Amino acid sequence: MKDRTMALAGIFQAAELVRQAANHGTWSGYAADTCLDSLLAIEADSVDEIYGGTDRLRLGVETLVSVLQGDRRYMESLGYAVSLMQLETPFRKNSRMQDRVGTELQSIANLSHEQDGYELEEHEWHDLQAEKIAGLYSETISTLSPRIIVNGRPQHLQIQRTVHWIRTLLFAGLRSAVLWRQLGGGRFNLMFGRKKMLEQARTLLPG
């Protein structure tokens, strides 16, 4: 149950960050790095290893708790989360796409910090990874149906870096949706297991 709740929090963390980026042009870098790292943790042995522990999922857990409590301020984030869960099915059924995504994400994970003789700062390296991931997303995930439509302010959605990160975050959210399904998650958990899930999510929040 804890692992499943962490995976669900991973979906909601990505969804809330997409909302932040699209509407405000800024987002929590720490939470976004967690999403990026989880997407590139191809061969992790545990859910804790994928996310780096519950502390790094705080934004996702807080968003999940708010949604489960019926807080309407997070309806947009909930919409993205539901879309990611729906997208998981066609992705899971497309083994050729899964193979390509796995291979290319591994290559992106291994990108060198040194580019054109210049040692990249950590944030520059993450931006480069996000750019590569966004390209992969456009060629693969965005061809699946239903397509996720991101709403926000045009001035933010016209900035290339923001678009790269939004696609990276959606990709990470899909990765969490796949994990959630693998751990036994499904619509019935959300519809009928809300109380248990809320209790479990609260235990993941720091005292």
* Distances in whole angstroms, Cα of residue 40 to Cα of each of 9, 35, 36, 67, 154: 17, 9, 6, 27, 29
pLDDT at 206 over 90: no
* Distances in whole angstroms, Cα of residue 113 to Cα of each of 3, 66, 124, 160: 32, 38, 9, 21
pLDDT at 118 over 90: no
Burial 81-103 (b: 16+ CB within 10 A, else e): bebbbebbeebeebeebeeebee
Residues 183, 146: Cα–Cα separation, whole Å: 23
Give the pLDDT of residue 38: 97
Give the pLDDT of residue 189: 67
Give the pLDDT of residue 164: 98
pLDDT in tens, 25-64: 999 999 999 999 999 998 889 999 999 999 999 999 999 9
- What are the DSSP E strand ranges found in the chain? 114-115, 118-119
Give the pLDDT of residue 207: 62
pTM to 2 decimals?
Answer: 0.94
